[in-house]
Amino acid sequence: MTKVPHTLAEWRAGRYLFDMAKRIILILLAVVSISFAGTTPELGIHDKTPTVKAFVNARIVQSPARTIENGTMVVADGRIVAIGGSVTVPGGATVFDLAGKTIYPAFIDPVTEYGVPNAERPRRRWGEAPRYEAERAGADAWNDALHPELNWVDEFQPDSKEADELLALGFATVQSARLDGILRGRSTVVTLGEGLPNDLILKAYGRQFGSFDKGSSEQQYPSSQMGAIALIRQTLLDTDWYDKAQSAYSRNPAQKAPETNRALEAMQGVRTDGMVFETANALEILRADRIGREFSVPMIMIGGGNEYTRLAAIKQSGVDLILPLEFPETPAVKDIGDEYDVTLGQLRHWEWAPFNAYLLDSAGIEFAFTTHGLKNTKDFWKNLRTAISCGLPAQTALAALTSVPARIAGVDDQVGTLEQNKLASFVLTDGDLFDEKTHIYSVWVAGEKRHEEIKLDQVDFRGNYTLQIDHRAVTLKLTGDITKLSGKIEIDSATSMTLTDISIAPDVIAFSAVLDSLGMDGTTRFEARRSENGLVGFYVSADGGKHQWSAERIETAADEKKKKTPEEEPPSRISRLTSPNIAYGFETPPTQQSVLITNATIWTSDEAGVLENADLLVQDGKIRAIGSDLEAPSGVLTIDASGMHVTPGIIDEHSHIAIAGDVNEGTHAVTAEVRIGDIVDPEDIAIYRELAGGTTAAQLLHGSANPIGGQAQVVKLRWGAGPEAMKMPEAPNGIKFALGENVKQSNWGERYTVRYPQTRMGVETIIRDAFQTAREYEQAHEQFGKLGKGDRERTIPPRQDLLMDALVEVLNSNMFVHCHAYVQSEMLMLMRLAEDFGFRLASFEHVLEGYKIADEMAAHGVGGGSFADWWAYKFEVYDAIPYSPALMSERGVLVSINSDSPEQGRRLNQEAAKSIMYGGMSPEEALKMVTINPARQLGIDRYTGSLAVGKDADFVIWSDNPLSMYAVAQQTWIDGRKYFDIENDHKMRETLSQEKSELVQKVLKTGESSGRKDRGGPGGPKPYSGQYDDAFDLWIGAGEGGYYHD
């Protein structure tokens, strides 16, 4: 039997040419028998049209790396049977002479919804209660956003309208799935051919598709990105459990059968198949990658267009990328004042986005392109050419449209390159594919012409002709595009008449003209065909007389055009790339410095107290010495801080900055499974602003919409770092609880009255029930763990439940509970409940009636994370008093003052100072409420929160007494790195404003300005700008009930 060449080198050696000739004959014989392979009965006459075609004299781009200058491709039954420079055309083949033409592998779009039905978007039904349960049908998943069991091959129907759109762009193959929900089902890979679905499928069961977006699901959960992540994580755990449970049951049917779950069955292969995951930006890629790594699921990411901002991290992740070819709208800056609506980040992204593909390629990251995400499919070629003009090599562009998506879609054995045995799906052009002047003549799918832009025998009529008419010689000029001509008849350089109604068929041209300058009446109509040396035809004059005419060709239009085309300036960038890529981002991250601060008033927040005229030595990110007259070791930067004050970095124990998406998974009453750590957003300008107020660390908390909320994340405000590098791994885990009006939905509107609990009584019981169940859950796991190996395999294991896991951690005192609470009754309740279950609460948040039960709190050992003076914004805070922090402190409660607000998070020193006026606290104690006390509440006091030898060098230099209204932070340091410097800040303002002006000028120069909607997007402002206040905690993320709170 014939050997197939395995490498191009073998191929080139021509070793198989002889074999191949024999092989072609065999294949041609086989064609007849293959046609008996279909199951669908033919009800009429059997179609036996020969399918053998030979494309000769073509320039064949087989793959991005290999081109045959004058080649032949033989196709039979849709497949390439031979391809090369010296292939023999078999007798009986239909021959297509492609002299002057080029063929390329047709494109593959790895992300489409081609041929699958659209999702029904949720209907808005005002006044209807929120829906917490799924619409169950079949043995499906508990959540409507999860339908991994759907196989889109089951729904696939070719759609000629959609196909035509994609074919016109050069695509012949697509991967299709409905892009709706979190687990979206398995794609199917199909050609854009005609016929039965059965005959168009290249890969019936493609990869599972996923996203963070619940899409058309009307079920409440999940309402946030962290909820979506938790849901994916739990589903992947359940997938493993399901397998174990089923096999245990099959080994031992004498036990209660585990549930049947088609969704979990469908997920079984996801580790080998991988998942195609849709993201909105580079940070989401990193988030999805983390889940992929956790469960060893290979991830292919659909990007959001700003991958260039995180090249190193994306490169390191090693994920495959699919890039939408959409660029941001040109910002509208026409009118004075418009520029304030556009951020520098948005302007930068507008400028940089077209370079994204080029920059990814330069960084060695492979990607495919997709039409998905294009607002207008017609922009595809324009944007592709823009990307190339921005430096993307044409070869990479071709790979991104052919070989890479073929591999991603798992069909690289069938399409993606033009090689023997692959499908004859190709694009036929008259030149280099990416050249603006090149025409796509036709697009072929599996050997059939599916789209034709220009016929192969189209005559190029363009050129100048000497036209003989009415016994006079004039010049006929035909210019423009080969299929769209314009023209005129010139008597001399001063006198000409424009042609109208020009129409062309492949070999006929017709047009009309008013030839008054030639003294002819009315409109004259012309028609002609190509002759040996020009045109020959007839014209009909105004009087109806039909006359013959001819024209002799002088010069070709193409030649003329070539001369005229001016060199276009290659695009360039004027804006900077910073981390994060918005105003005030770092061009280079701050480095760790050895520094000696001298002659300062040092507030240690430690036993040493306040030291006058003291020095602080920092080395390797740690505090090395504090005292007087310290010697500066060589190479140490000395800062003379005479008249200045130095304090520990301020710690905000209750913050919601730097969180991507919703702060609340405000749906279920218990959401212990969600984690803020999954959605840390290092691109929030609030981080920089808080550094400017001396804040160096924060606990990022879940909102207060649920009695048991999500897990917290302690971060240092390392501006410019990635999401993982902001985290403080040494901090103990924490979780947010909440009580009172928010969790009983008192102020959510009349629709929200169906969720348990609606009273403070129910708040107690739902928490009690959760912990009771968690204890039983832990016991069940322990019992299972005690079984011998054999028994374990025969017993259905208890399922691992992330929600319960978190509660078990609380029960075992491995997770700190930080509970939003206002009134004394509910705080007493939770303390007693915790005591019943044998754990201690870490802190009450806001704790407005803490002063009423200070002794009880001290006895329990719970801290108070208080507002300084908030009250009266809702009924449960009507008894709040600003003396509470002082009174609690006096009675031995560990009190911190925190912000709950990106505004107050910048000046917690002032909030702390309020306890000096309300309750007479000493300044030193007041400062502790925003330094060491919150550090202790968070369990990070060994590392930060006070100035002591060996601790992290997190500190602030102030212009004045830090408890005074007049103190301004001059420098803020974390780990011995300077993250804020007021002098640098002032310098940066200048450069940023100049950069913005230059970008605005650049936008104005492009002359484009759009009125289309382009919401948010990379570099844009966060969706809030004001105080969160308690209402923010509650509302943001409360689904459609939520509102933007100023």
Partner 1 sequence: MTKRILNLVALLALVLSGAASAHDYVPGAPQSQPILLKGGDLYTVAAGVLPHTDLLFENGRITQIGPDIIPPENTNVIDISGKRVYPGLIDMATTLGLIEIGEVRATNDQTEQGRVTPEVTAATAYNPDSELLPTVRSNGITTVLVYPGGSLIQGRSSLMNLDGWTREDAAEKPVAALHVTWPRTRIVTAWWMQQSPEEQKKENAKNRDELSKAFEDAHAYYIAKKADPSIPVDLRWEAMLPVFDRELPVIIYANDYRQIEQAIAFGRKWNLRFIIAGATEAFRALDLLKEHNVPVIVRRVLDLPPGQDDPYDAAFTLPHLLHEAGVPFAIATYSSWASRNLPFHAGMAVAFGLSKEEGLRSITLTPAEMLGVDGEIGSLEVGKKATLVVAAGDILDMMSHRVEMMFIEGKSVDLNDRHKELYEKYQRKHWSEDK
Restricting to residues 870-909, name those near partner 1 by CB under 8 A: 870-875, 878-879, 881-883, 887, 891, 902-903, 906-907
Residue type, 88: T
Q: Which CB sits closer to partner 1, 50 or 892?
A: 892
Sign of CA dihedral 1009, 1015, 1017, 1020: positive
Residue 341 engages partner 1 in binding (rule: CB under 8 A): yes
Tell me the C-alpha to C-alpha distance, in Å, between residue 527 and each of 473, 770, 883: 18, 86, 97
The footprint of partner 1 on residues 899-958 (CB under 8 A) is: 902-903, 906-907, 910, 913-914, 916-919, 923
Tokens of 523: 């409109």
Residue at token pair 């602003």: 689
- Minimum distance between the CB of residue 982 and partner 1, rounded to whole angstroms? 9
- Minimum distance between the CB of residue 996 and partner 1, rounded to whole angstroms? 7
CA distance between the termini of the chain: 77
Residue 961 engages partner 1 in binding (rule: CB under 8 A): yes
- Minimum distance between the CB of residue 742 and partner 1, rounded to whole angstroms? 10
Q: Which of 202, 685, 841, 974 touches partner 1 by CB under 8 A?
A: 685
Q: Which of 173, 234, 343, 898 touches partner 1 by CB under 8 A?
A: 343
Of 306-314, 470-478, 637-645, 1005-1013: span binding partner 1 (CB under 8 A) = 1005-1013
Of 11-19, 300-308, 478-486, 959-967: span binding partner 1 (CB under 8 A) = 959-967
Q: Which CB sits closer to partner 1, 379 or 1014?
A: 1014
Q: Which CB sits closer to partner 1, 798 or 1042?
A: 1042
What CA–CA distance (Å, rounded) separates 637 from 380?
A: 54
- Minimum distance between the CB of residue 634 and partner 1, rounded to whole angstroms? 36
- Minimum distance between the CB of residue 344 and partner 1, rounded to whole angstroms? 5
Q: If you ran DSSP here, which 8-state letter would residue 745 be given?
A: T
Q: Which CB sits closer to partner 1, 318 or 920?
A: 920
Q: Half-sphere exposure (CA, 13 Å, Cβ side) for 848?
A: 21
Q: Where are the beta strands (DSSP E) in 717-794?
A: 733-738
Q: Which CB sits closer to partner 1, 248 or 717?
A: 717
Q: Which CB sits closer to partner 1, 207 or 906?
A: 906
Q: Is 1006 exposed, middle or buried (0-12, 13-18, 19+ CB in 10 A)?
A: exposed
What CA–CA distance (Å, rounded) separates 624 from 596?
A: 10
Count CB atoms within 10 A of the CB of residue 453.
15
Q: Which CB sits closer to partner 1, 814 or 1001?
A: 1001
- Minimum distance between the CB of residue 965 and partner 1, rounded to whole angstroms? 4
What CA–CA distance (Å, rounded) separates 108 from 167?
A: 10
- Minimum distance between the CB of residue 73 and partner 1, rounded to whole angstroms? 48
Of 293-301, 435-443, 567-575, 1019-1027: span binding partner 1 (CB under 8 A) = 1019-1027
- Minimum distance between the CB of residue 1013 and partner 1, rounded to whole angstroms? 4
What CA–CA distance (Å, rounded) separates 334 from 342?
A: 12
Kindly give, in sequence order, each residue whose CB lies less than 8 Å from that of residue 750, ignoring residues fewer than 6 positions away.
127
The footprint of partner 1 on residues 470-499 (CB under 8 A) is: none
- Minimum distance between the CB of residue 934 and partner 1, rounded to whole angstroms? 20
- Minimum distance between the CB of residue 225 and partner 1, rounded to whole angstroms? 12
Q: Which CB sits closer to partner 1, 84 or 1017?
A: 1017
Q: Which of 203, 422, 477, 689 touches partner 1 by CB under 8 A?
A: 689
Kindly give, in sequence order, each residue whose CB lies less than 8 Å from that of residue 179, ignoring residues fewer than 6 positions away.
111, 113, 209, 211, 215, 278, 372
Contact 509, 525 (CB under 8 A): no
The footprint of partner 1 on residues 83-122 (CB under 8 A) is: none
Name the strand (E) or helix (H) holding 991.
Answer: helix 982-1006
Q: Which of 181, 648, 945, 1017 touches partner 1 by CB under 8 A?
A: 1017
Contact 275, 236 (CB under 8 A): no
Residue at token pair 């404003």: 993
The footprint of partner 1 on residues 731-770 (CB under 8 A) is: 741, 746-747
Q: Which CB sits closer to partner 1, 1 or 336?
A: 336
Tokens of 846: 């806001």
Q: Which CB sits closer to partner 1, 543 or 983?
A: 983
Residue type, 412: D
Q: Which CB sits closer to partner 1, 538 or 873?
A: 873
Q: Which of 37, 44, 312, 340 touches partner 1 by CB under 8 A?
A: 340
Q: Which CB sits closer to partner 1, 949 or 992?
A: 992
The footprint of partner 1 on residues 538-597 (CB under 8 A) is: 582-583
What CA–CA distance (Å, rounded) separates 148 from 401?
A: 27
What's the residue count for the chain? 1046
240: helix, strand or coil: helix
Of 263-271, 722-730, 971-979, 1013-1021: span binding partner 1 (CB under 8 A) = 1013-1021
CA proximity to 103, closest of 50, 189, 170 = 170
- Minimum distance between the CB of residue 361 and partner 1, rounded to whole angstroms? 30
The radius of gyration computed from the CA coordinates of the chain, to the nearest angstrom, equals 36
Residue 700 engages partner 1 in binding (rule: CB under 8 A): no
What CA–CA distance (Å, rounded) separates 887 from 901?
A: 24
Of 113-121, 185-193, 364-372, 1010-1018: span binding partner 1 (CB under 8 A) = 1010-1018
- Minimum distance between the CB of residue 125 and partner 1, rounded to whole angstroms? 17
What CA–CA distance (Å, rounded) separates 230 from 678?
A: 9
- Minimum distance between the CB of residue 968 and partner 1, rounded to whole angstroms? 6
Of 194-202, 499-507, 707-715, 1022-1030: span binding partner 1 (CB under 8 A) = 1022-1030
Q: Is 207 exposed, middle or buried (0-12, 13-18, 19+ CB in 10 A)?
A: buried
- Minimum distance between the CB of residue 279 and partner 1, rounded to whole angstroms? 16
- Minimum distance between the CB of residue 343 and partner 1, rounded to whole angstroms? 5
Q: Which of 318, 965, 994, 1008 touches partner 1 by CB under 8 A?
A: 965
Beta bridge partners of 895: 864
- Minimum distance between the CB of residue 1007 and partner 1, rounded to whole angstroms? 17
Of 334-342, 464-472, 605-613, 802-810: span binding partner 1 (CB under 8 A) = 334-342
Q: Which CB sits closer to partner 1, 389 or 746?
A: 746
CA proximity to 84, closest of 104, 99, 69 = 69
What CA–CA distance (Å, rounded) separates 361 from 249?
A: 50
DSSP string, 408-464: HTT-TTTSSS--TTSB--EEEESS-TT-TT--EEEEEETTEEEEESS-TT-----EE
Q: Which CB sits closer to partner 1, 619 or 889?
A: 889
Residues 812-841: x where in contact with partner 1 by CB under 8 A, - otherwise, as a string: ------------------------------
The footprint of partner 1 on residues 843-872 (CB under 8 A) is: 851-852, 854-855, 869-872
Burial letters for 382-412: b for 16+ Cβ neighbours within 10 Å, e otherwise?
ebbebbbbbbbeeebbbbbbbbbbbbbbbbb
Contact 90, 23 (CB under 8 A): no
How distant is the alpha carbon of residue 111 from its chain centre?
Answer: 14
Q: Where are the beta strands (DSSP E) in 889-1006?
A: 895-897, 955-958, 969-974, 977-981
The footprint of partner 1 on residues 313-332 (CB under 8 A) is: 332
The footprint of partner 1 on residues 234-263 (CB under 8 A) is: none
Contact 105, 425 (CB under 8 A): yes
